[in-house]
């Protein structure tokens, strides 16, 4: 568990020193970049693997949101279909937002503005809650339990739903 953290020799945490992470990434890239092994075919394959793993690790740990996703995934808490733990009041708010987005899609500019404002506010509250809960966990000295991470999981699921609604409002398609 938390392979990418151990790869960089850092403790699992939601909030990291991102400059330290970047330094670790660049150090490994300088050591294992495949361009340095063009004349050593026996080491080129290892360099390709190490460089690729380094890129993947940095992609997963490089931002708060990607770290949350990675940690939840590693703990088996990504919230597959049917396993969401979203509160009923949040789901009711989503239905109201969907109605506004439908009106906006039909050309109602006021609905578009209102939906955008409500989405932005809900996303900000959700992100702040997730960051506060993550700070509490980062302060713990013991390994996290699923029960301790559950509030972050709920916030993550909310964030995912809100992000999809935002894309719908902006007319972006998910692939």
pTM, rounded to two decimals: 0.85
Cα–Cα distance between 131 and 16 in angstroms, integer?
Answer: 12
**Short-list 167, 82, 63, CA closest to 123:** 167
CA distance 126 to 118: 12
Please indicate, yes or no, if residue 80 is contained in any of the structural domains.
no
Q: Specify if 75 maps to a domain.
A: no
- Distance in angstroms (rounded) separating the CA atoms of residues 11 and 79: 24
What's the CATH number where 37 sits?
1.10.287.110
Tally of structural domains, the chain: 2
In a domain, 52, yes or no: yes
Domain boundary among 62, 77, 106: 62
Q: Report if residue 31 sits inside a domain.
A: yes
**Cα separation, 136 vs 139, whole angstroms:** 5
Does the pLDDT at position 170 exceed 50?
A: yes
- What whole-number distance in Å separates Cα of residue 68 and Cα of residue 70? 5
The boundaries of the domain holding residue 98 are 88-170
Q: C-alpha angle 172/76/55, rounded to 5°?
A: 60
> Helices 64-74 and 146-170 meet at what angle, rounded to 10?
130
Q: What is the pLDDT of residue 174?
A: 57
Residues 53 and 97 in one domain: no
110, 44: one domain: no
Q: What is the pLDDT of residues 50-78, one digit of tens each?
A: 999 999 999 999 999 999 999 999 998 87
Least reliable range by pLDDT among 3-17, 81-95, 103-117, 128-142: 81-95
Identify whether 146 is part of a domain. yes
Same domain, 56 and 94: no
3-state helix, strand, coil in the chain (%, to 5): 75, 0, 25
Which residue, of 11, 45, 62, is where some domain finishes? Answer: 62
Q: Indicate if 58 and 118 belong to the same structural domain.
A: no
Predicted local confidence at residue 53, as pLDDT: 96
């Amino acid at each position: 568990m938390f392979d990418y953290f151990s790869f960089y020799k850092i403790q699992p945490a939601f909030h990291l020193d991102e400059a330290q992470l970047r330094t670790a990434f660049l150090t490994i890239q300088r050591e294992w970049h495949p361009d340095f092994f063009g004349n050593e075919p026996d080491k080129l394959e290892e360099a390709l693997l190490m460089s690729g793993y380094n890129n993947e690790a940095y992609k997963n740990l490089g931002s708060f949101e990607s770290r949350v996703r990675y940690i939840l995934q590693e703990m088996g808490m990504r919230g597959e279909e049917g396993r969401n733990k979203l509160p009923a009041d949040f789901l009711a708010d989503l239905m109201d937002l969907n109605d506004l987005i439908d009106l906006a899609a039909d050309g109602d500019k006021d609905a578009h503005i209102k939906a955008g404002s409500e989405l932005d506010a809900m996303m900000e509250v959700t992100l702040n809650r997730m960051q506060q809960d993550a700070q509490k966990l980062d302060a713990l000295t013991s390994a996290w339990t699923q029960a301790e991470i559950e509030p972050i999981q709920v916030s993550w699921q909310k964030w995912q739903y809100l992000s999809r609604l935002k894309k719908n409002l902006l007319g972006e398609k998910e692939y």
